[in-house]
Amino acid sequence: MPISRLLSAALLCLVAAGVHAADLQPLKVANQKAMIKTLLQVSGELAHVPYTIDFSEFPAAAPLGEALNAGAVDVGALGDAPYVFALGAGAPLKVVSITHMEGRYTTALLVPKDSSIQQVSDLKGKRIVTTKGSIGHLLAIKALQQAGLKSSDVSFAFLMPSESRVVLENGSVDAWSTWDPYTTVATASGQERVLVSGATLLSNHLYLAATAKAIEGKRPQLEDFVARVDRAWQWANAHPKEYATAMAKVTGLPVEIQLAAAQNTHMQRVAIDDQVVRGLQQTADLYRSEGILTRPVDVSQGFDPSFNASPPLARAQ
């Protein structure tokens, strides 16, 4: 559909809701490593927006979740594990859209290519580096459980991804649990190999979470933003080279690395339903049993299925 028609449709919805574009407050979007902003820019979805989008940059999911908690931003993208942490901190948040990331190495537990570690059970007594509360942390815990081990059977070092590969390569740790594009960087270099992929261990969902205040006061903006992000991901699926080129400019990674990640990852919006809620509850319960969360968390309060009614999701189904 041409952008002009999309804009007209959006404005008609706003008028029907009794809201004029000129009256719309800015939408404050938390942006992790420029991902959402770059995605929207390169796909053309930042053209003709009938309200202002104010982007704030965050280096990782944990500080992004803290900003949502504090109400400093209206909406942001988080993985399963970071979102559980945000809810555990008592944030009045709701997931308004879910994108499933299907890819070869969307998440993976890596070891040096010459490591004697051949299976997850060999990690007993070893050191794993990851980012605390990240999707990599969740993958490590689930992989250990599947192998009949507990977190206490290994030692964790918690670092940001930029530091993690360094300590893996210098031998300070034995394994690294991380996500794309770091998995693609590591495997493309030939210096690391995949011990286990998170393709079947994790849901591999990316959540767009909004504050309760934003849902109440900025519903038209959020409805429009959710639709734009969905269209942008569909564009990226069809134009991996253009998307990879744009991302390489902001991440500093080689274009061929970003292209490999883009070509091997398919993004598809999925409905907020009971299955999704149950899956996240399992993550919350796992973190509670591991002592990572200090109190039980009912994740069912952290979803708003009314956003399922948007046309892009209806077409996807």
Mean pLDDT of 88-94: 88
Cα separation, 97 vs 99, whole angstroms: 7
Residue, of 246 and 20, whose pLDDT is higher:
246
In the listed set 197, 231, 257, which residue is the last one of a domain according to the structure?
Answer: 197
Specify whether 210 is located in the same domain as 97: yes
Cα separation, 71 vs 164, whole angstroms: 30
- CA 203 to chain CA centroid, nearest Å: 11
Specify whether 94 is located in the same domain as 216: yes
pLDDT for the residue numbered 82: 86
Specify whether 179 is located in the same domain as 221: no
Specify whether 190 is located in the same domain as 219: no
In the listed set 161, 178, 197, which residue is the last one of a domain according to the structure?
Answer: 197
Q: Max CA-CA distance within the chain?
A: 65
Specify whether 132 is located in the same domain as 34: no
pLDDT tens, position by position, 166-218: 999 999 999 999 988 888 888 888 889 999 998 888 888 999 999 999 999 99
pTM (2 d.p.): 0.82
Specify whether 193 is located in the same domain as 283: no
**Range of the structural domain that residue 151 is part of:** 107-197
Specify whether 210 is located in the same domain as 185: no
In the listed set 152, 173, 197, which residue is the last one of a domain according to the structure?
Answer: 197
